[in-house]
Amino acid sequence: MEKTQPWWKTAVVYQIYPRSFQDSNGDGIGDIPGIISRLDYLQFLGIQAIWLCPVYQSPNTDNGYDISNYEAILSDFGTMKDMEKLIRLAKQKGIRIIMDLVLNHTSDQHHWFVEAQKSKENPYRDYYVWADPINNHAPNQLGSIFGGRAWKYDRITNQYYLHLFSEQQPDLNWENQKMRTKIYQMINFWIQKGVGGFRLDVIDLIGKKPLKMITGNGPKLHNYLKEMNRSVFAEKDLMTVGEAGSATVEDAKKYSGPDRNELSMVFQFEHLAIDQQLGKEKWDLAPLNLEKLKQVFVKWQVELAGSGWNSLFWNNHDQPRIVSRWGNDKQYRVVSAKMLAILLHMMQGTPYIYQGEEIGMTNRPITDISEADDIETINMYQQRLNEGYSKQAILASINAKGRDNARTPIQWNDELNAGFTTGKPWLAVNQNYQVINIAAELANENSIFYTYQKLIKLRKSNPILSQGNFKLLEDTKTEVFAYYRQLENAKWLVVCNFSDQINEFNLTDDVEKVIISDYSDLSLAEMGKNISLQLRPYEAFVVAVKA
């Protein structure tokens, strides 16, 4: 058993999407003073770190993922003084702030790009990726992740620039040493402010070779990460998590292997790609295949153990709400949200809770595209209309997968605008706030909130969760997802009924103690060895068993 582990191996991280968390000044946009006012709540939940989505100066084409100044705070969110106060007050409560670093691209309004656009000779020109036209056309067919081509023609200099996301997000050229040095200086600026670490946006793209059609996992990707580590992270007690959409287990070992000196851990998305048609886009919906889900989790749990570190998440600001996606957001909302939490939080890795997940917030369906805010959603809508899809089909995809589902304001209470703002919220509040809100959760000891609170506590005090090995129980019904964790003489059995139907489970272990369950009336007395349990809809429990 590892004696001293880095803090982030037993931590749970809470993700804040600042626009939607808490408004303090009535402008309808969440802000940093709003976050400060809710630190007590987060401390009560028990988390050790906050991943804060971008709060830097930005024209907000992609809600902050288009940064125009990395060392300034967007005035909608407050001031640098507010940010410093947040870092300081959070630290006093044992909460570290993880900043979101967007290093693959900037905003087209960043002064580097404003300069770069002026002429081919400009000293900043090479900070970005430029290419000559070929036969009066874009250099190649490379597509943007937000739709259309990834090349934008610039009339003044008769060249194209690369934008893997929107036209307003030109890609940085990581081949340029000067640019990299500036980026490292900027990261150090934040380290000196006392932040606890960084989440690195689409970091798998920085090694791109666009003229060779290579975007993810480019040849120098890991050289850059090693250089970054040497220049800024080394010897500091920081947590770093790289978003690597395309990462396989082998890639994850490279990013996060203990001797690799790159990052602490990765965000990989294999488990969230299961409900889309193979080889198609996320909008092309497919039903959840539970066998496949198990296979993916087992692969990551078993193969990464000891040679890298994973993050555990169902949600973020780019994903729909998990209780609507794979749980049941009607009759079984509470119990299915708890089951999903238990299933994930008993695994090895660092769990992330996306704001509102801890109270089972749901998707927010729309009936017209005018209700959407997200650039990805709006671009896709237009593109698919042009391609002949019906409005109804496109809206069905948006309601299942659109990013706005996760971005509606946090529902604090049943008062005006769910207590998020006294003004007009930038994105409409989900109408179910009178039933689903934090005040109601806190008042009910059987709420989803308290399940999350307990899961966070369990991780902190039980090394079996961070260090134990993982083994799937293979001999179960498909709908039953059950596994063991074991560390020396301690052995836990996790059983989850991933279904709204009753399912049978044969208990073959000697049960010693109930650790957690989602139905409050589960009792040890019912848990004899070799009995067949009738698991109720979405029933989940964890028990300590004889090793």
State the alpha helices, DSSP H only, in 370-526: 375-386, 391-401, 438-443, 448-461, 463-467
Q: Does 404 bind ligand NOJ (CB under 6 A)?
A: no
Least spacing, CB of residue 494 vs ligand NOJ, in Å? 29
> 243, 270, 404, 539: which one is catalytic?
243
Helices then strands, counting H and E runs in the chain, come out as 15, 20
Q: Which is nearer to ligand NOJ, 165 or 433 (CB)?
A: 165
Binding-site size for ligand NOJ (CB under 6 A) equals 9
- The site string for ligand NOJ over 273-302 (x = CB under 6 A, - otherwise) reads ------------------------------
Q: Tell me the Cα Rg of the chain.
A: 23
Q: How far is CA 224 from CA 16, 28, 221, 357, in A?
A: 28, 40, 5, 34
Sorted by sequence, the CB contacts under 8 Å of residue 321 that are 6+ apart come out as 315, 329, 356, 357, 361, 362, 363, 405, 406
Task: Verify whether residue 243 is a known catalytic residue.
Answer: yes
Closest CA to 267 of 343, 357, 199: 199
Q: Which is nearer to ligand NOJ, 374 or 539 (CB)?
A: 374
Least spacing, CB of residue 51 vs ligand NOJ, in Å? 11
Q: Which is nearer to ligand NOJ, 179 or 494 (CB)?
A: 179
Sheet with 151-154: list strands edge to edge.
Answer: 130-131, 159-162, 151-154
Q: Which is nearer to ligand NOJ, 149 or 317 (CB)?
A: 317
Least spacing, CB of residue 267 vs ligand NOJ, in Å? 9
Least spacing, CB of residue 119 vs ligand NOJ, in Å? 27
State the alpha helices, DSSP H only, in 257-403: 290-304, 322-325, 333-345, 375-386, 391-401
Nearest residue to ligand NOJ by CB is 65
Helix (H, G, I), strand (E, B) or coil at 242: strand
Q: Which is nearer to ligand NOJ, 207 or 468 (CB)?
A: 207
Binder of ligand NOJ out of 21, 51, 65, 326 (CB under 6 A): 65
Do strands 350-354 and 13-16 pair parallel, antiparallel, or not at all (unpaired)? parallel
Q: How far is CA 279 from CA 65, 205, 287, 290, in A?
A: 26, 19, 15, 19
Output the six-digit token pair for 101. Answer: 């670093």
Least spacing, CB of residue 378 vs ligand NOJ, in Å? 13
Q: Does 267 bind ligand NOJ (CB under 6 A)?
A: no
Q: Which is nearer to ligand NOJ, 65 or 352 (CB)?
A: 65
Sorted by sequence, the CB contacts under 8 Å of residue 416 that are 6+ apart come out as 422
Q: Does 62 bind ligand NOJ (CB under 6 A)?
A: yes
Task: Verify whether residue 201 is a known catalytic residue.
Answer: yes
Q: Which is nearer to ligand NOJ, 187 or 202 (CB)?
A: 202
Output the six-digit token pair for 148. Answer: 């259309």
**Contacts of ligand NOJ in 99-128 (CB under 6 A):** 102
CA distance 357 to 57: 27
Q: Which helix (H) or strand (E) holds 222?
A: helix 221-228
> 201, 275, 376, 441: which one is catalytic?
201
**Contacts of ligand NOJ in 304-333 (CB under 6 A):** 317-318
Output the six-digit token pair for 252. Answer: 């994850």
Q: Does 374 bind ligand NOJ (CB under 6 A)?
A: no
**Contacts of ligand NOJ in 200-259 (CB under 6 A):** 201-202, 243
Least spacing, CB of residue 167 vs ligand NOJ, in Å? 13
Residues that bind ligand NOJ (CB under 6 A): 62, 65, 102, 165, 201-202, 243, 317-318
Residues tagged active-site: 201, 243
